Amino acid sequence: MSGEFDEAYRCSIEDPEGFWAEAAQGIDWIEPWDQVLDDSKSPFTRWFVGAKVNTCWNALDRHVEGGRADQLALIHDSPITGSQTKFTFRELRDAVALFAGALAARGVGKGDRVIVYMPMVPEAAIAMLACARLGAVHSVVFGGFAANELAVRIDDCQPKAIVSASCGIEPTRIIEYKPLLDGAIEMAKHKVGTCMVLQRPQCAATMVEGRDHDWAEAVATAEPADCVPVLATDPLYILYTSGTTGRPKGVMRDNGGHLVALNWSMKNVYGVEPGEVYWAASDVGWVVGHSYIVYAPLIHGNTTILFEGKPVGTPDAGVFWRIIAEHGVTTLFTAPTAFRAIKKEDPDGKLIGQYDLSKFRTLFLAGERSDPDTLVWAETKLKVPVIDHWWQTESGWPMAANCIGIERLPIKHGSPTRAVPGYDVQVVDDACRPIKRGDIGSIVVKLPLPPGCLPTLWNADQRFIDAYMADFPGFYKTGDAGFMDDDNYVYVMTRTDDVINVAGHRLSTGGMEEVLSAHPDVAECAVIGVNDQMKGQVPVGFLVLKAGVNKPHEEIVAEVVKLVRERIGPVAAFKLATVVPRLPKTRSGKILRGTMQKIANVEEHKVPATIDDPGVLPEIAEALKGIGYAGG
């Protein structure tokens, strides 16, 4: 190893101001900063204080003026509608400026909030960038989110306008958005005066006179708007994440730090050069969609892909390979659950051989723990490096990764490698004391957090402290549990809530899932802790089998129980597992272990707003009954 990574990491921790001031040279500033880092009111860290900037300028206009005007900026690929739309940087800049003008004509200006409630269409990215152009603060809410959930977000951020579409399109159905939007506006205490509605050909929305405006008509009469200077510390967006109290937390992102961190990450973490095609197969409703579909690739001068489809079923498990081949993708970033779905449908990877993947260099996985079996499958079939990396909505960009643009470190399956420069990641016990290498504890990050991380929650400074800073003074609480090895590799095993206590032994459900997923018949799995009178908690496993497996379920269950006993030991007390057709997940692919646990323990629970298909939960309840849990 060359030691370049060690040197970069050391500089970022010992001299964060110098490190990030250098990184900031990659951004166009309207006015320079007075201070790189203001940590005088910790934990409320502020980066590039006094600087003025515009995020949309850095994502679009500077590339138009700097020689990339005719390079493709955005490719919308929709196997669901059988259509593709492509924008050069000039075309995207012009579309964004016109829509910004349409918003401005309806009173939207600097500091105003705008909710974006859209499907995966180019107009979703255009709306986000138009807000950034005006200095307005966007808050993207998943298209098709329940009306009451949307109403809560309307009341929290009090938008001046909402941008929506007539419908979203799933493989088997059309979801009308407008009735949900109308219901949310009716429920909300805060009344929204302006709605901009994109009428999709698959479904026409009924408009409310005076409040609702047709997107195409509004743009046709609009004057293009210029970029509005904002302070680096001004908010760019609010992204709501579910809160433990049931009230969503509005994660806030600033302009300056976000620009610097995302631009730096494209080259240094992902190893991508300007001009290359980068694809994050996610949704604009998630942080991945904000950071790595819309902002980071465009800021860095890359072509980005917006995908309206699924990893399987649109039309088959080869759609990812078709898009990589057709558009010349060098780097794909997706969730492990997508690859588990592909592996389940095409376990031998036969569809891969039908496509020319010669330009494809690297696969990145994040969003859910990457089990080693899925990683090895992807490495073997794709014959490219498969990089597990770890980050959160709150961080906005990777916290631990193999930074291949600096120095590719040896891959250790099960680990997202080491803390990324800027993040002083540590593992501590409940009293905030460092623990022995290899022992599981709470993963924390020493303050100050680097640029790009949340500076606070929207209108909720105390909640920000209570949620993230109070439990481990001087550190940010990630909410994840795991360990570090002697090489400083981080192992993120589970959420701290999912560390189970079996007869006094703290055990990671993630470690058990690793064993279950190694079974040749298992496509994906989940382990939860359920209440037990004797041991406090015992683990229960849920298994989804690969396509074409005909072996009796009892035989597979017996084999995985034996595997856990062999690899983790009798201390795990792993005796219960059941085969299920599918697992309950959020729309981003996170398995809803907490909800499954509440069903098993007969605890009150509500169906999470982010669930992909509520019909899965009765199946889980039935499976639990089948293994003797009345809680089912």
513 and 423 together in one domain: no
Question: Residue 576 is which amino acid?
Answer: L
Structure token pair of residue 6: 């060690």
User: Between these two residues, 85 and 375, which has the higher pLDDT value?
Assistant: 85
Closest CA to 167 of 124, 125, 119: 119
The helix/strand/coil state of 203 is strand
Number of domains in the chain: 2
Q: Is residue 359 part of a domain?
A: no
Lowest mean pLDDT among 70-79, 89-98, 313-322, 516-525: 516-525
pLDDT value at 385 more than 90 = yes
Q: Which two tokens stand for residue 41?
A: 């009111």
Q: Are residues 237 and 126 in the same domain?
A: yes
Strand partners, 473: none
What pLDDT does 591 receive?
A: 87
Q: Does residue 281 lie in a domain region?
A: yes
- One domain for residues 57 and 178: yes
Residue 71 pLDDT > 50:
yes
Please say which residue of 425, 449, 482 terminates a domain.
482
In the predicted model, what is the mean pLDDT of residues 463-467?
95
Q: Are residues 414 and 296 in the same domain?
A: yes
Least confident of 37-51, 390-404, 484-498: 484-498
136 and 275 in a common domain: yes
Q: How far apart are CA 512 and CA 143, in angstroms?
A: 35
Q: How far apart are CA 392 and CA 399, in angstroms?
A: 8
Where a domain ends, among 419, 450, 482?
482
271 plus 397 within the same structural domain? yes
Average pLDDT, integer, range 422-434: 96
Cα(424)–Cα(484) distance, integer angstroms = 12
In a domain, 326, yes or no: no
**3-class DSSP state for residue 480?**
strand
Q: What average pLDDT does the segment 378-401 reach? A: 96
* Rounded-to-integer distance, Cα 201 and Cα 217, Å: 15
**Would you say residue 362 lies in a domain?**
no
Domain assignment present for 497: no
Q: What is the pLDDT of residue 632?
A: 38
Question: Does 83 fall in a domain?
Answer: yes
Please state, in angstroms and rounded to a whole number, the distance separating the CA atoms of residues 551 and 566. Answer: 22
**Mean pLDDT of the region 226-231:** 98
Is the pLDDT at 244 greater than 80, yes or no? no
Q: Is 324 among the domain residues?
A: no
Do residues 162 and 23 both lie within one domain? yes
pLDDT at residue 232, rounded to an integer: 98
Residue 510 pLDDT > 90, yes or no? no
Give the pLDDT band of residue 589 (cuts 50, 70, 90): confident
Residue 223 maps to which CATH number? 3.40.50.12780
* Residues 551 and 472 placed together within one structural domain of the fold: no
Q: pLDDT of 78-135, one tens digit each?
A: 999 999 999 999 999 999 999 999 999 999 999 999 999 999 999 999 999 999 999 9
Does 515 share its domain with 413? Answer: no
Domain of residue 128 covers 4-309+389-482
Tell me the mean pLDDT in the region 504-509: 66
* Mean pLDDT, residues 240-252: 76
Are residues 411 and 545 both part of a single domain?
no
If asked whether residues 546 and 469 sit together in one domain, one would say: no
Residues of the chain above pLDDT 70, percent:
96
Q: Among 450, 482, 514, where does a domain finish?
A: 482
pLDDT confidence band for 242 (50 / 70 / 90): low
How much is the average pLDDT of 429-450? Answer: 95
Segment 168-174 long-range contacts (CB within 8 Å, at least 24 positions apart): 168/119, 168/120, 168/143, 168/144, 169/80, 169/81, 169/119, 169/200, 169/202, 169/308, 170/80, 171/80, 171/310, 171/313, 171/314, 174/202, 174/203
Q: For the chain, what is the mean pLDDT?
A: 93
Closest CA to 423 of 265, 238, 588: 265
Whether residue 523 is contained in a domain is answered as yes
